[in-house]
Structures are given as C-alpha cells and as structure tokens.
Amino acid sequence: MTNKSTVTPIILALLAMLPGCTTKPALPPGIRPTVEVGPAPRSDAWKAVATAADKDRLSRLGLAWQEALDEAGKTNAADIRREGKLLLPRSALPRPEPTPGSYNCRLIKLGSATPKSKPYETFKPFFCYVEVEDNLLTIVKQTGSQRPAGRLWEDDELTRLVFLGSLALGDESTPVGYGDDPKRDMAGVLERIGPFRWRLVIPWPQSTSKLDVFELTPVDFTQQPQ
C-alpha cells in the first residue's frame, strides 16, 4: 500500500512539468522587455528615397496603363498589337535584373497628357547603359537631348525593380540629383518581358504622354557607342 505522504509530492512534481502550469520567471526590478527593430528590408529602401509625388505616380501605374492604352488603341490598335508583350501590362517575368552593359533602347509614348500631343508616338532607337554603382544597378541614356539616368531598387514585387532618376538636358554632362529638381524627377518600374528583353515603364511622366515605355535589348559589343 502506497503512503499518502509519498504520492502527494510526486503528483505536485508532475503537475509542475506541464506547460500550462509553469510560471513565467519575473524580471529583475527596473528591467523591462524590449524589441529590437532592425534596418528596413532592401525591398523597402526605395520608399525612403522616393518623393511623395513619385510614390503617388507609382501607386497609379495600373490606371496609367489603362488610360494610355485606351487612348492609343483608338488610333493605333494595329501598332499596339504588333508590339506584343512590350505593351501588355501584365507580362513581367521573374528575375528582372538586367546584365550590366550597353543596350539598344527605343521609346514609345502612350496617351495624351496635353491637347496637342498624340496618343501614340515612337522615336528613333538610341543607346543606353546599365552599370553597377554602390551595389545598385543604374540606367543611363547615352545619346539625345534628353537623357534619363537613375538607379534601380529592389521591390516587394519580385518581378520588377523600381527606377528613380532624373534628366540631363542639352550638353549637360550629368543629370541633376534625384529630388533636387522636381520637374526633372522620374519614377517607374523595370521589368523583364522575355529572353534578353526588358522594358522601363514610366507612369504619368512630366511630358506629353500618360505612359512612357522604353524597350531595352543588349547590343553587340562591336556596335556599342564610342
């Protein structure tokens, strides 16, 4: 026969081992629990750099696609179909990072932002260059009277990079810094739409259109501008 005085300590010991019966140890007097907040993820870094105006433009990217294509489709539906994925809003592919090097670039402007502007315009090809600067990719338009240049930032959406840049005009050797002149600021997204094919989409540009679409394709080394 088991002694009652022996059973009681055993039962109490077993109960103490159950998770629901354990007690949280008290902190020493004057000590409070803290939660350390680390640096923002790289995918959020661009938000700390972008101006409020450009954040607003990027938030309305879908609307820019819709309005621009609706207007351009009324006059240039065949041209839009011929461009294929370049002008399809949801055609981005994974791994959007372009390889550093020289690219053939061309610009298509969609939608009319002014009464006199056309709903669909194309321009002669030009050269642009992708390089690495401070661990970020940059894009620079190398020729022409208006030369966009800016950095590419990681984004929460894994199929795109966020572009923040500005314009160099005329014979300026370098563009003004992003944010220094709001009238020259540019914001958009870079997406890969096929093998060795990318596009840079600028919604609500400060120009004559509602959406600018730059196509980027690598050039042969022997064709690069001198």
Residues 6+ apart with CB under 8 A from 83: 108
Residue 9 lies in a domain: no
Q: What is the pLDDT of residue 11?
A: 43
Query: Do 190 and 152 touch, CB atoms closer than 8 A?
Result: yes
Q: Give the separation between CA 95 and CA 179, rounded to whole angstroms.
A: 28
Give me the pLDDT at residue 57, please: 97
d(CA 39, CA 68): 38
- 54 lies in some domain: yes
Structural domain of 91: 47-223
Q: Which CATH number belongs to the domain containing residue 162 in this structure?
A: 2.40.128
Position 172 in a domain: yes
Q: Identify the pLDDT of residue 169.
A: 78
Instruction: Confirm whether 31 is domain-assigned.
Output: no
pTM of the complete model = 0.78
- pLDDT < 70 positions in the chain: 1-42, 144-145, 221-226
User: What pLDDT was estimated at residue 24?
Assistant: 44
Q: What are phi and psi of 216, to 5 degrees?
A: -125, 125
201 located within any domain: yes
Tell me, what amino acid is at 131?
Answer: E
Asked, for residue 28, whether it belongs to a domain, the answer is no
Query: Quick check: is 175 in a domain?
Result: yes
Does 1 map to a domain?
no
Q: CB-based burial of residue 9 (10 Å sphere; 0-12 exposed, 13-18 middle, 19+ buried)?
A: exposed
Number of C-beta neighbours around residue 4 at 10 A: 7
Domain count, the chain: 1
